[in-house]
Structure 1
Amino acid sequence: MRIYVPIDAAARALGSDAVADAVAREAAKRGIEITLIRNGSRGMVWLEPLVEIVTDLGRMGFGPMTPADVPALFDAPEHHPKALGLTEELPWMVRQTRLTFARVGVIDPLSLAEYELHHGLKGLRRALTMTGAEIVKEVTDSGLRGRGGAGFPTGIKWKTVHDAPEGQKYIVCNADEGDSATFADRMLMEGDPFTLIEGMAIAGLAVGATRGYVYTRSEYPDAVAQMTRAIEVARKEGVLGASVLGSGRAFDMEVRVGAGAYVCGEETSLLNSLEGKRGVVRAKPPLPALQGFLGKPTVVNNVISLASVPVIMERGAAFYRDYGIGRSHGTMALQIAGNVKYGGLFETAFGLTLGEIVNDIGGGTATGRPVKAVQVGGPLGAYFPPALFDTPFGYEEFAAKDGLIGHAGVCIFDDSADMLSQARFAMEFCAIESCGKCTPCRLGAVRGVETIDRIARGDSSAIPLLTDLCNTMKAGSLCALGGFTPYPVMSSLTHFPDDFARAKEAAE
């Protein structure tokens, strides 16, 4: 009897360890031999802990489970009060296009044998038959863009590093994931770490790098542990090391842990931290692709960007490019959170409208109240009202509405939210997290909080001042922190003016 209980951090926070212990005890008590597998999460957070049992028909899901629900699993599972049916046939799963997350929740995350049974290492083996330039062209032709927020074409970045003079080069994975309402990087590292390892190895082969680093935050202890163990397994099995899969071409990697400063999600701050320096933004040029880690040519990509590479190399650039809309190719791992009925990870091709994501997939608010605003792109993303719910989920489509996709975090608010308070939160967040390198961010955020407080006290004359300040921050900040903080502030002013007017009325 094979039973799956997630080891994902969200599932553990909801009690999956206690459920796993209860499963083991109940099986021993009844003398039933089981294979207990701690898998990743399927992404349906509202059903966690989600237990799955392998049946003749497939894997049957049960959730959300508690230890008290476990004994009935061993009686008549099909009549269990929390039986959900076959997991793969649940509406949340059927509607997805799982490419990057195809194995997450399906396999034992630390079993390389299971990984290979589910198409793992096919992309790497193909890459080993190609030159670096051919690999770079394949990734370029796929249309893959950086999934960490900027949406920069991955192939162009790789080509810059590939074309740099011969010598030591590096692959750095940005797994800092500091945006609110984002958890895709963590879920993948915990649920399918070999995909990231394979993607980084392919990147190394492409550009001539022999060393890689996964930079993540101390708040992700489970992801750190899983990645570290997976790297050890990969090294032992010859996937990493002096001769990748016996090819004679070298690539090895390790995990580095930062303290969790938000600004270290910006690539140059990350590189400073990785070198043991204070996490502050570097001026550009030089670009990290030419002078990055330790002054050497460096590819810096997000987890999902690198984890998307194996399927591109396995199935070809055209297969991946044919998903999506416009210049947004492939799939995106939507992370739906906030005041929402069905929160979790949903991988789909670009092109769904924001309204479909919020109301259809997410099921609207958890409170049952009307949706007032949706913030896409983390704490620096714009607030979109329902009037903009027809916006297709794509890089250019969101930019045209003064928004950004970012890391695809989708945070939902009902009509009780006060958008003036949300604007203040964005400014205060920037003031706290600023590294202090550039004046528009360091001083602008502090003055921004003060200006919003003036508006909250009823001083509507401060609104033009806030607008000017936001424009200055957008134009003059060195990194996304100061440059994008105006997005939530200005969208609050633009789309929710009544919340600012009420502050004046209350003061009077």
Structure 2
Amino acid sequence: MTDMLTPVLTDTWDAESSWRLDTYLAHGGYEGLRAALAQDPSDIVQLVKDSGLRGRGGAGFPTGMKWGFLPPPDGGPRYLVVNADESEPGTCKDIPLMLASPQHLIEGVVISSYAIGCHHAFIYVRGEVLHVYRRLLAAVQEAYDAGYLGTDIQGSGFDLEVTVHAGAGAYICGEETALLDSLEGKRGQPRLKPPFPAVAGLYARPTVVNNVESVASVPGIVAKGADWFASMGTEKSQGHGLFSLSGHVTRPGQYEAPLGITLRELLDLAGGIRAGHELKFWTPGGSSTPIFTAEHLDIPLDYESVGAAGSMLGTRALQIFDETTCVVRAVSRWTDFYAHESCGKCTPCREGTYWLKQILHRILDGEGQPGDIELLLDLCDNILGRSFCALGDGATSPITSSIQYFRHEYEAYISGTATPPDPRLATLFDDEPQAPAAHAGAGGR
């Protein structure tokens, strides 16, 4: 089964001191940059378009097309901003990538900046992951010292400064315009669009905002070609991607595979559901995507197939839950998160997530009333498509999809016939869990 894996971004994770520049260079690092600097920037943009690379941050928008939206140069600055504010519940791909192999990202930043005519790039990291922030700062300094950042990069005449910025830990700053406001020192709240960041982004200048994995995928495309990248995945969802398996699975972790792989195949690689249990439900792209059940095990995990089945591929955060999990309780926990993280800018999300939270708590406390399920669905209908950004939409997804597949569990709580779940059965750990030994490529100094 391991032949389904495509270790590209993860190819050095098990190497000694994988985060060091020397290790990255020994495995072919910066070959893509050398190839890029020998070409015209417009050729790099076209190469990324031809590869079919789509944004790996959740939306799946074609990366090269996004770069092409920038207006013609007018003599002023333009910026590249890397969205490393990974905070979607269940999502854990960008943080281990930056921890184990930050030079993948840095090389991608240099190539992407060269392609769009940017001379100052920003990497916006979630400030709560201090160890990742420190490692990224050290990696950027290594790149400066080796001449891969700064002035006259590798004798090409191209200059680039990179700033690593630590956010304050707000989920809303994963939304690109809220992130830009935060970078400017303002409160992180979504902007009205248009204008879009490509026209008026950071400091009101043309800006490209890309996810970590999107940018880190660029060096491989430049070094090995668009056809190489497009040969993986499906016709409309090309390339490789990181699939994060967590929850009730034997071997949780990162699995880098072509888009279009199925959960059944990933579970085979991960040793299946934990012993003695069976799959109940799962998320294909984090908690803000509609949940799936065991009947969806063989759906190809690509943008089109997952969308046609009623969910979204999102960040490929596959949270796996077995039969010991109470659906209502899990959805309530997610809703607590979204209510807490709502920025409060728009009424549907600010008020709607609050009331969703209150009703779910009422149901779980055994005080549910007839009509509460319809009330939840009505609230979701008044939030979906009416909030300022996608946070409100995402908050409705686990509720509406869980009612679709597990309405009987809600009804059991409301009727008073539900059996309270035993949290000891659902936990992944013993009473006194032991921390696993760190992999060679992800720890140390």
State yes or no: 1:287 paired with 2:196: yes
The SS at the match of 2:274 is: coil
Q: Which of residues 240, 248, 255 is equivalent to 2:149?
A: 240
Task: Specify the code of the residue in structure 1 equivalent to 2:66.
Answer: K
Structure 1: how far apart are the matches of 2:375 and 2:155?
Answer: 63
Question: How many Å apart are 1:164 and its aligned residue?
Answer: 5.4
Q: Does 1:449 align with 2:325?
A: no
Once residues 208 and 322 of structure 1 are traced to their aligned partners in structure 2, the CA distance between those partners, rounded to angstroms, is 29
1:111 CA displacement: 3.5
- 1:356-375 CA distance string (max 9 Å, x none): 223x1232333531111112
Whole-Å separation in 2 of the counterparts to 1:140 and 1:104: 28
Query: Helix, strand or coil: the match of 2:385?
Result: helix
Kindly provide the amino acid, as one letter, of the partner of residue 384 in structure 2.
Answer: K
Name 1:384's counterpart in structure 2.
292
Matches within 5 A, 1:184-333: 184-333=93-242
Q: Contact (CA 8 Å) 2:82, 2:211: kept in 1 or not?
A: yes
TM-score (ref. length: structure 1): 0.79
Question: In the alignment, does 2:314 pair up with 1:406?
Answer: yes
AA partner of residue 411 (structure 1)? Q
Amino acid of the residue matched to residue 381 of structure 1?
T
CA–CA distance in 1 between the matches of 2:302 and 2:72?
A: 30
Summarize the alignment of residues 25-104 of structure 1 with structure 2, pairs less than 5 Å apart. 95-104=4-13
Q: Is the 8 A contact 2:4 2:258 kept in 1?
A: no
2:400 is the counterpart of 1:490: yes
Percent of residue pairs identical = 39
Q: Deviations over 1:396-421 (max 9, x none)?
A: 11111221121111111111211122
Q: 2:331 aligns with which of 423, 427, 447?
A: 423
Larger displacement relative to structure 2 (182-191 or 430-439) = 182-191
CA 1:303/1:463 → structure 2, altered by over 3 Å: closer, same or farther?
same
Distance 1:99 1:163, change over 3 A: farther
- Picking from 109, 118, 137, the partner of 2:18 is 109
Secondary structure in 2 matching 1:139: helix
Task: State how 1:315-354 maps to structure 2 within 5 Å.
Answer: 315-354=224-263
Q: Which amino acid aligns with 2:372?
A: A
Q: Give how far 1:224 is off.
A: 1.0
AA aligned opposite 1:380 = S
The yes-or-no answer on 1:364 pairing with 2:272 is yes
1:486 and 1:164 map into 2 onto residues whose CA distance is 41
Shift of 1:157: 1.0
Relative distance call for 1:236 and 1:162 in structure 2 (3 A) is farther
Of 360, 364, 369, 1:459 maps to: 369
Aligned with residue 375 of structure 1, among 272, 276, 283: 283
Unaligned runs of 5+ in 2: 419-445
Q: What SS is found at the alignment partner of 1:485?
A: helix
Deviation digits for residues 457-505 of structure 1 (CA, Å, limit 9, x no counterpart): 3424122222222122221122221112111111100011221121133
2:416 matches 1:506:
yes
Unmatched segments (≥5 aa) in structure 1: 1-90
SS at match of 1:372: strand
Partner of 2:53: 144
**Residues 162/197 of structure 1: CA separation in 2 closer, same or farther (3 Å cut):** farther
Q: Which residue of 2 aligns with 1:475?
A: 385
Deviations 1:294-341 (A, max 9, x none): 111111111100000000000111110111013111011011111211
SS of equivalent residue, structure 2 residue 70:
helix
Point out the more displaced range, 252-261 or 108-117.
Answer: 108-117
Work out the CA distance in 2 between the residues paired with 1:120 and 1:286: 37
**In structure 1, how many angstroms separate the alpha carbons of the residues matched to 2:235 and 2:247?**
29
Deviation at 1:125, TM superposition (A): 0.9
Q: Does the CA contact (< 8 Å) of 1:107 and 1:115 recur in 2?
A: no
Q: 1:111 to 1:364 in 2, by over 3 A?
A: closer
Report the Cα offset of residue 200 of structure 1.
0.5
Higher mean alpha-carbon deviation, 159-168 vs 430-439, is at 159-168
Task: Give the whole-Å Cα distance in 2 for the aligned partners of 1:307 and 1:168.
Answer: 23
One-letter identity of the residue aligned with 1:127: A
**SS of corresponding position for 1:213:** strand
**Contact persistence 1:331–1:347 (CA under 8 A):** yes
- Alignment partner of 2:114: what SS? helix
Separation in 2, partners of 1:401, 1:408: 15
Write the deviation string for residues 194-232 of structure 1: whole angstroms up to 9, x where unpaired: 111110111111110001111111221121111111111
Of 375, 388, 393, the match for 2:301 = 393
- Measure the CA separation in 1 of the matches of 2:386 and 2:73: 30
SS of the residue corresponding to residue 347 of structure 1 reads: strand
Contact 1:334 1:409 in 2 (8 A): yes
Distance in 2 of aligned mates of 1:423 and 1:229: 39
Task: Give the structure, 1 or 2, with the largest relative contact order (CA under 8 Å, sep 6 or more).
Answer: 2
CA distance in 2 between partners of 1:332 and 1:419 (Å): 28
**Counterpart residue identity of residue 414, structure 1:** D
| Paired AA for residue 399 in structure 2 | V
1:122 maps to a residue whose letter is E
Q: Is the 8 A contact 2:71 2:199 kept in 1?
A: no
Partner-residue secondary structure (3-state), 1:254: strand
- Larger Cα-atom Rg: 1
Partners of 1:458 and 1:317 in 2: CA distance: 55
One-letter code aligned to 2:405: H
Alpha-carbon distance between aligned partners in 2 of 1:182 and 1:405, rounded to the nearest angstrom: 12
**Residues 431 and 111 (structure 1), Cα distance of their counterparts in 2 relative to 1, 3 Å cut:** closer
Conservation of the 8 A alpha-carbon contact between 1:110 and 1:229:
no
CA-atom RMSD, angstroms?
1.7
Q: Across the two proteins, how many residue pairs are aligned to each other?
A: 416
